[in-house]
Chain A
Amino acid sequence: MHPSTWLKINDIGLYCEPGNFYIDPMSEVDVALVTHGHADHARAGHNTVYASPETLAIMQTRYGEDMAVHQHIISLGEPITFNDVSVTFYPAGHILGSTQILIEYGGYRVVVSGDYKRRHDPTCPPFKVVPCDVLITEATFGLPVFTHPPIEDEIDKLLHSLRVFPERCHLVGAYALGKCQRVIIALRDAGYTKPIYLHGAQLKLCELYQQFGIDLGALIPVSEVSDKKLLAGEIVIAPPSALADRWSRSLPNVRTVMASGWMQIRARAKQRNAELPLIISDHCDWPELLQTIEEVAPKEVWVTHGREDALMYQAQKMGFKARALSLVGYDEDEQGGD
């Protein structure tokens, strides 16, 4: 049976009828399979949740221990069954604990990519190419203008700026889950050993990363710095929403840095009032999206959230059957961990 007959889109999200479960549902459901911990994919209040141990820990950190009645830890690569439907989680390389999901039913294999990337990320195992009939892929950066530079180059820009403006507090806007930790690790890899200062919203998740054995070096909450003037010449990481907020007024001579895949487009960087845009993404860029489609070589490509048109067009040009799935509700900006 063709997946279009049993894999449905409704206003809650992607629903597998024969297995009676949702993947990354937008609102409370009976059974939810969650690909990763970003707030727009992982919501609280489901009856039963299946997810990786890291994702469940992230959800507990954010929503409390009782974020779902039943919480099932999955093991990567080990199938579980829902009625006649077999489901297997594989790594997606997006953030700590992120997964893609293979669904097998009626002689068809469908892979739901979730959010994913193909670059090296020390916080999670790399994306696994899972052969399938239908690949449901995200398209956050689904335009040929997006080719993300190596993270080392971008971190160099930040370190260079610290040398040129040693008197300015470098306030880096980075999403609290994933981006923040990746920026910290890249700074450490580049030899930056000084303490890094954090906005309150970043703290708990950094601690969680550390509990999973990821070394982030010395981190100090900004709230514990009594004389904010001492933050001149230091790196402070805060959620993007805090960059231009009243919170930042207490920091000395701020230089606004923004770490996001969107920073590649000047107008987007300007909108953020970023003085130093860093192109750091946890999603595939355009070449990686095409690479993935080629390597997975599905019969059909279904494109979800992002710039579907261009990726569909390109997939068709490459000889794949392609359609757009209009999944609404996945934020591309502050919530989505771009």
Chain B
Amino acid sequence: MEAFSHLLEQLYFTSGTKAKAQLIADYIANTPDPDRGWAIAAMAGTLKFDFFKRNTVKKLITERTDPELFAMSYDYVGEVSETVAHLWPDSEPVNELPSLSSIVDTFSTVSKQKVSETLARYLTMMTPSQRWALLKLGTRGLRIGVSARSIKQILADFGGKDIKEIETLWHAVEPPYTELLQWLEGKSDKPDIQNAVTFHPVMLSHPIEESDIDSFLPNTWQIENKYDGIRVQLAVNTEKDEPEAALYSRTGDDISHSFPDLLESLSGNMVLDGELLVIHNANAATSESFAEPEVDTFNSLQQRLNKKKPAKALMQSNPVGLIVYDALVLDGESLTEHTLAVRRAKLEDWFSKRAIPRLFLSTTLQAHSPASLRNLHKTVCENRAVEGLMIKRLNSTYVPGRPKGQWFKWKRDPLVVDAVMMYAQRGHGKRSSFYSDYTFGAWQGDQLLPIGKAYSGFTDEELKKLDNWVRRNAIGRFGPVREVNKALVLEVAFDAVHPSNRHKSGVALRFPRIHRIRWDKPAQEADTLDNVKALIEE
């Protein structure tokens, strides 16, 4: 447990993906099984149960400390686990703490009545930072800024494998990942995952270039709408002893728990590639599966993302469905070696033979020349639920990764507004001495209201100039945030505007970035909040 606590401590304070990866790799290389596997599970978010409830922790500390002092301390520290870690009054240090795996085992087998007493015993043995680690681990609340995807990359590097192999195996192996780690170290065979429902690394597209459009030839490309949802993979196998269905994100995270409404009614043996969206007629009678999907905005889908257990009402108001555009497996047959033309034909055939609620076949569009393709793009972009076009080579096989010249995305031109810089904050890592994060606002009367924050889109040279400008124009300080003279106009590009009641301005921008720095433009001539609101999609 000491090593794990030490790792968390270092990860917490280290910024930069690379440095964090170094620390984790070092830990994996120097920690025995099964401890390291449990640590991986904790970091990747694949631990299956809470060791104890937050409430148990609160009860324990309430019995042991003065409630007033606890309240004042919590108020200052701002986080329960850390407050408890510092305030825990009993300390009986031991020479060596129990191992991480023995702690996991203990909590997985201990009876409900004994959980609290077990936790107290551990906390008493530990230093404040070890206590913090245990509390974070036990409530599955590690926030160390390492994604599951990074963990897979670290494992791949550790074993000298391609990350796609890890992604394929990932959902078929379980913590503490002993088999997987042994294989990565070359000490045993690759884990056998026959029959398991698991993630297949996806094929990705490149942004289209003018030259690609100019060389467009009819009948060699499949053209589809690019929907503004999230790319998912649906893997179902109900034809085996233990039926399984799972929904994965593009990066292989299992997001099934958020979308029980999609998964409940599926049967078959297939892996489908598609766009997850809020679709209002998703749950319509099965016969209407060929109907046009009533697609809602990304904003309404966003309310469904990252929910551990979505409420019934939310599933009813924002029902999800899948627009299917490709198939990796159909009726148990792998199709990835076939061309897109063949896969599409099989997919159409498959859809024609059944009607599955919440699944829709994507529509294909036609263009006969570069000019008609440009026209088509213009037309589809008028529909705000569509983000642009997808253009895929009909003779492309399904190759995981981002193969060249096979699939293209042609996004709608970004929206832009002229906003005024209001606050600036220093960045992290290489940028830690630069003011590189900017909050900008739009006018409402003679007042500026913040509409978003951006930290990308400029060159290093521009960053130096911006940093210099912030330093010369700083007029106030709120902790790490500098307020600046409201004098610099930033042309901000973004993908969409949504209404938001979390922000005073009432709007939230999607993926804002600095498009241009308008050193020349007077701040008074920047856009008004009404200008911004006019861009909200209906």
A interface vs B, CB < 8 Å?
143-147, 244-246, 248-249, 256, 264-267, 269-271, 273-277, 307, 309-310, 313-314, 317
Question: Shortest beta-carbon distance, A120 to chain B, in Å?
Answer: 22
CB-CB under 8 A for A246 and B77, given A143-B72, A144-B69, A144-B86: no
Q: Mark B4-30, 1 if CB is under 8 A from A, else 0.
A: 000000001111000000000000000
5 closest A-B pairs by CB: A145-B86, A310-B72, A145-B73, A275-B13, A143-B73
Nearest CB to that of B89 among chain A residues? A144
Q: Is B250 an interface residue (CB 8 A)?
A: no
Q: Are A145 and B433 in contact (CB under 8 A)?
A: no
Nearest CB to that of B71 among chain A residues? A310
Q: Mark B63-81, 1 if CB is under 8 A from A, else 0.
A: 0011011001100111100
Q: Is B267 an interface residue (CB 8 A)?
A: no
Q: Is B87 an interface residue (CB 8 A)?
A: yes
Nearest CB to that of A269 among chain B residues? B13
Rounded to whole angstroms, the CA-CA distance of A310 and B68 in the bound complex is 8
List of A residues within 8 angstroms of B79 by Cβ: 266-267
List of A residues within 8 angstroms of B344 by Cβ: none
- Residue picked from B14, B66, B433, most chain A C-beta under 10 Å: B433
List of A residues within 8 angstroms of B15 by Cβ: 273, 275
Q: Is B83 an interface residue (CB 8 A)?
A: yes
Q: Are A267 and B78 in contact (CB under 8 A)?
A: yes
CB-CB under 8 A for A307 and B72, given A144-B65, A267-B77, A271-B480: yes
List of A residues within 8 angstroms of B224 by Cβ: none
Question: Shortest beta-carbon distance, A139 to chain B, in Å?
Answer: 12
List of B residues within 8 angstroms of A246 by Cβ: 433
Q: Mark B88-123, 1 if CB is under 8 A from A, else 0.
A: 000000000000000000000000000000000000
Q: Are B76 and A244 in contact (CB under 8 A)?
A: no
Q: Are B76 and A265 in contact (CB under 8 A)?
A: yes
Q: Is B82 an interface residue (CB 8 A)?
A: yes
List of B residues within 8 angstroms of A277 by Cβ: 13
Rounded to whole angstroms, the CA-CA distance of A245 and B82 in the bound complex is 29
Nearest CB to that of B129 among chain A residues? A266
List of A residues within 8 angstroms of B307 by Cβ: none
Rounded to whole angstroms, the CA-CA distance of A144 and B67 in the bound complex is 12
Q: Are B77 and A271 in contact (CB under 8 A)?
A: no
The 13 sampled A-B contact pairs (Cβ below 8 Å) are A144-B69, A144-B86, A145-B82, A145-B87, A147-B86, A244-B433, A265-B76, A265-B82, A266-B82, A267-B78, A271-B479, A273-B15, A273-B432
Q: Is B426 an interface residue (CB 8 A)?
A: yes
Q: Are A144 and B73 in contact (CB under 8 A)?
A: yes
Nearest CB to that of B26 among chain A residues? A164
* 9 further A-B pairs in the complex, CB-CB below 8 A; given A145-B76, A265-B77: A144-B65, A144-B69, A249-B433, A265-B82, A266-B82, A273-B428, A275-B13, A307-B72, A310-B72
Q: Are B78 and A275 in contact (CB under 8 A)?
A: no
Rounded to whole angstroms, the CA-CA distance of A273 and B425 in the bound complex is 12
List of B residues within 8 angstroms of A256 by Cβ: 432
Question: Shortest beta-carbon distance, A251 to chain B, in Å?
Answer: 10
Rounded to whole angstroms, the CA-CA distance of A249 and B12 in the bound complex is 23
List of B residues within 8 angstroms of A309 by Cβ: 72
Rounded to whole angstroms, the CA-CA distance of A269 and B77 in the bound complex is 12
Rounded to whole angstroms, the CA-CA distance of A211 and B137 in the bound complex is 51
List of B residues within 8 angstroms of A267 by Cβ: 77-79
Q: Are B69 and A310 in contact (CB under 8 A)?
A: yes
List of A residues within 8 angstroms of B65 by Cβ: 144
Rounded to whole angstroms, the CA-CA distance of A229 and B12 in the bound complex is 28
CB-CB under 8 A for A313 and B86, given A143-B76, A275-B14: no
Q: Are A276 and B13 in contact (CB under 8 A)?
A: yes
List of A residues within 8 angstroms of B82 by Cβ: 145, 265-266
Rounded to whole angstroms, the CA-CA distance of A95 and B68 in the bound complex is 33
Question: Shortest beta-carbon distance, B312 to chain A, in Å?
Answer: 37
Rounded to whole angstroms, the CA-CA distance of A235 and B12 in the bound complex is 23
